[in-house]
Structure 1
Amino acid sequence: MNTHDAPEGHEEHTPLPLPVNSPDRRDGQVYVMTAELRMAVKVALATGRPLLLRGEPGSGKSSLAAYVAREHDWRYYEYVVTSRSKAEDLLWTYDHVRRLSDAQVRDPGTVLNDADYVTPGPLWWAYNPATAADGRKGRRKRKDPWARINKDRAPDHAVVLIDEIDKADPDLPNSLLVPLGSHQFTVTDTGERVRRQKGAERGGRKGHTAAGQHLIIITTNEERELPQAFLRRCVVMELPEPDRERLVDIAAEHFRHEHGGTEGFDQELAEALARELLDARKEARATDVRPPSTAEFLDALRACTSLGIGVTHDDWWLIRSLTLLKPQQPEA
């Protein structure tokens, strides 16, 4: 309804703001890295070990992988773990139902090719995109599920995000020990051996060994304890909560990408919201509920900026309760 057509007795409101394009960025364009986190990435690459990121939800763990891939111009893949996930989902999946159906309707003498029913997972595409896409020996040519992003990126290097691994059964991280450590595995349904594609030694960046040509970033929200054997084989870093100064830096960087520059960025508003976030975290912990995250701080900033709400506005405290101190159950 147009604001000029408001029914009698109802106040007119300003038009609704346009929605933000992708508030949870997964394109790798925005990330404010600390020196410690950048060193952790370098260590993971130098050792060829996965980088396990710990931290509260909304702290930026999942966004790092796409940023590193974009920064280095490497291919990018991701897999979000669920309680039903199996290690094979990261390596390959086999369509038993489709094969059974084809076997029932095939012409006499027709031989089914098991490779036609295999779909490579993100680690296969990362380790060896050539065999993942292989269409030889009668196979159907497979398409990189992230082809739009990866078509012009370095074929010998890749970043893989394994998100929220703590949601899976402990068997999943244990089953990934060999594929993550040796960069190879066998597709049991076909007997095909998948190995890391050679060639990274040519043109690889200084300090990136062949073993570290693929960066595997794994995140956990600590909902379930991970096996010790798995932890021993990871470079582990906990993302600390950003202080007020870092929160403002993060806000400015996101504003720059969302608005095409820093013109119009309200430093005073960002600092006030940063203080509110830190206070809200203290309140949340005092009452045994989940503290608000950096992502929620950015939501509060976007709302205030879009709606023209400053620290002296009547709705300032409403923004705080809607974005920072949300009603929730006490933590277990």
Structure 2
Amino acid sequence: MTEQPQNWQVFKDTGVPNADWQLPAPPSWRPFGDSVAPGVDRRKQRADTFQMLPAQVDMINAAIYLRRPLLITGKPGTGKSSLAYKVAKELMLGEVLYWSITTRTTLKNGLYRYDAIGRLQETEQLTKLSQGQLNQQEVLKTVQKPESIGKYITLGPLGTALLPSDKPRILLIDEIDKSDIDLPNDLLSIFEEGWFEIPELDRIKEIAPNVRVRTAYSDPDEPSTWNDNGYYTVPNGRISCRAFPLVILTSNGERDFPPAFLRRCLRLRMPQPDKAMLGRIVAAHLDAEYDQLANEYGEVVAQERKKAATDIRDELIQTFLERRQEGDLATDQLLNAIFMVTRDRSPVGSSRKRLIKSLLKNLTSAEDLEDETDEGDESEQDELA
């Protein structure tokens, strides 16, 4: 007799419209809806669950002492970017300035953005003003002072990280290996000098020496990292740091970097977590829910469920390690699998095996090409059973 699956599915493929269903609770690492700054908050949450090794602690301290960027290389899912949030929380460095790199990213993208189109539109309004096409109230709105150019300038993550402060601001440059070939070399002068000029402001510094511009800070819950409510007044068109920012660059190892760039960075290789570390990571992400169960149903029920879930976790961690020998896997794939099979309503039997196999696919598209054959074999086996 085959084992009957539990009623864990929300979508059942019955073809019958059904509004009588409840949205399942999300994983703790995928909250949505209640946050003022959801993208920022989800990234900040990594600080609470990231597990560090002694060598990583040493290199963070070395980067702080030496005022050098830290280049972190490792496989996807090894926690390279999470490290920045861990440091920011413990040292109270405020919001992590996040700069995601693509092949189109340039140094100027990181320093500042000038909205020339918006400025042009305002100029056109002034032209209408000169032709008598605006009323007096509109005139008051469009009369320009030289320093009003600051409305059209926004500092990027790198530019904001270089704002003067007593303690280092923290900047995460994510996936630097995806950049254009010139970007690492373009960063060298900034990393060495710690300052830059904004040409649009430098040209008017004699008549407008102080111009207020927007920064890249976006988290309203951390006003200590903001300067003048998210703005900064730039003196004489130049921004220069007092404390060199703690710059953390991540790389998946997809390319080599120029020796000149590597010489100016400290380097850290993130290892893939072993069995003990995976256990700690899983516990950090998932154990909090058992405290909630204890409050709702009592300690006995919570401990029984935790014991049953722990046995399943150990089994899946071992499966994950075996699968990882065949190809790359990310730790969040393990978390996904454990979450799905340790719920009150979760798949069993062949459905459980099929789901785990799909969630623990290696990080390559080649395995997807094998699915059609495998699914046909499994369907035939289910029919025989």
CA displacement, residues 70-90 of structure 1 (integer Å, 9 cap, x when unaligned):
111112211111222111121
- 1:302 correspondence with 2:339: yes
Aligned to 1:181: 192
Q: Whole-Å Cα distance in 1 between the matches of residues 268 and 162 of structure 2?
A: 24
TM-score under structure 1 length normalisation = 0.74
CA displacement, residues 244-281 of structure 1 (integer Å, 9 cap, x when unaligned):
11100111111245665796543322221111111111
Aligned to 2:108: 88
Aligned to 1:64: 83
Q: Whole-Å Cα distance in 1 between the matches of residues 169 and 318 of structure 2?
A: 38
CA contact (8 A) 1:248 1:267 kept: no
Aligned to 1:206: none
CA displacement, residues 53-105 of structure 1 (integer Å, 9 cap, x when unaligned):
11111111111111210111112211111222111121111111111222222
The structure with the largest alpha-carbon Rg is 2
CA displacement, residues 3-48 of structure 1 (integer Å, 9 cap, x when unaligned):
9xx999x9xxx96632224439411222100111111111111111
Which residues of 2 match residues 1-332 of structure 1 at below 5 A? 17-23=24-30, 25-27=42-44, 28-75=47-94, 76-106=96-126, 107=129, 110=144, 112-113=146-147, 114-128=149-163, 156-191=167-202, 192-197=237-242, 210-211=243-244, 214-257=245-288, 264-265=305-306, 266-284=309-327, 291-306=328-343, 309=346, 313-325=349-361, 328-330=364-366
Change (3 A) 1:293 1:216: same
Q: Whole-Å Cα distance in 2 between the matches of residues 188 and 219 of structure 1?
A: 30
CA contact (8 A) 1:128 1:196 kept: yes
CA contact (8 A) 1:299 1:323 kept: yes
Q: Whole-Å Cα distance in 1 between the matches of residues 352 and 342 of structure 2?
A: 12
Q: Whole-Å Cα distance in 2 between the matches of residues 7 and 282 of structure 1?
A: 36
Paired residue secondary structure (1:216): strand
Q: CA deviation at 1:215?
A: 1.1
Q: Whole-Å Cα distance in 1 between the matches of residues 255 and 192 of structure 2?
A: 22
Give the unaligned 5+ runs of structure 1.
Answer: 131-154, 198-209, 285-290
Paired residue secondary structure (1:249): helix
CA displacement, residues 273-294 of structure 1 (integer Å, 9 cap, x when unaligned):
111111111223xxxxxx2111
Change (3 A) 1:110 1:327: closer
CA contact (8 A) 2:164 2:240 kept: no
Q: Whole-Å Cα distance in 2 between the matches of residues 21 and 323 of structure 1?
A: 18
Change (3 A) 1:269 1:83: same
Q: Whole-Å Cα distance in 1 between the matches of residues 22 and 152 of structure 2?
A: 52
CA displacement, residues 211-256 of structure 1 (integer Å, 9 cap, x when unaligned):
5xx2111111122332222111111111111111110011111124
Structure 1 ranges of 4+ moved more than 6 A? none
Q: Whole-Å Cα distance in 1 between the matches of residues 22 and 151 of structure 2?
A: 53
* One-letter identity of the residue aligned with 2:254: E
Change (3 A) 1:72 1:318: same
Q: CA deviation at 1:330?
A: 3.9
Measured on the aligned residues, the alpha-carbon RMSD in Å equals 3.3
CA contact (8 A) 1:51 1:218 kept: yes
Q: Whole-Å Cα distance in 2 between the matches of residues 170 and 327 of structure 1?
A: 25
What percentage of aligned pairs have identical amino acids? 31
* One-letter identity of the residue aligned with 1:70: K
Q: Whole-Å Cα distance in 2 between the matches of residues 245 and 183 of structure 1?
A: 41
Give the unaligned 5+ runs of structure 2.
Answer: 1-8, 32-41, 131-142, 203-236, 293-301, 368-385
* One-letter identity of the residue aligned with 2:63: A
CA contact (8 A) 1:62 1:163 kept: yes
Report which of the two has the higher share of helix. Answer: 2
Q: Whole-Å Cα distance in 2 between the matches of residues 328 and 163 of structure 1?
A: 21
Change (3 A) 1:52 1:317: same
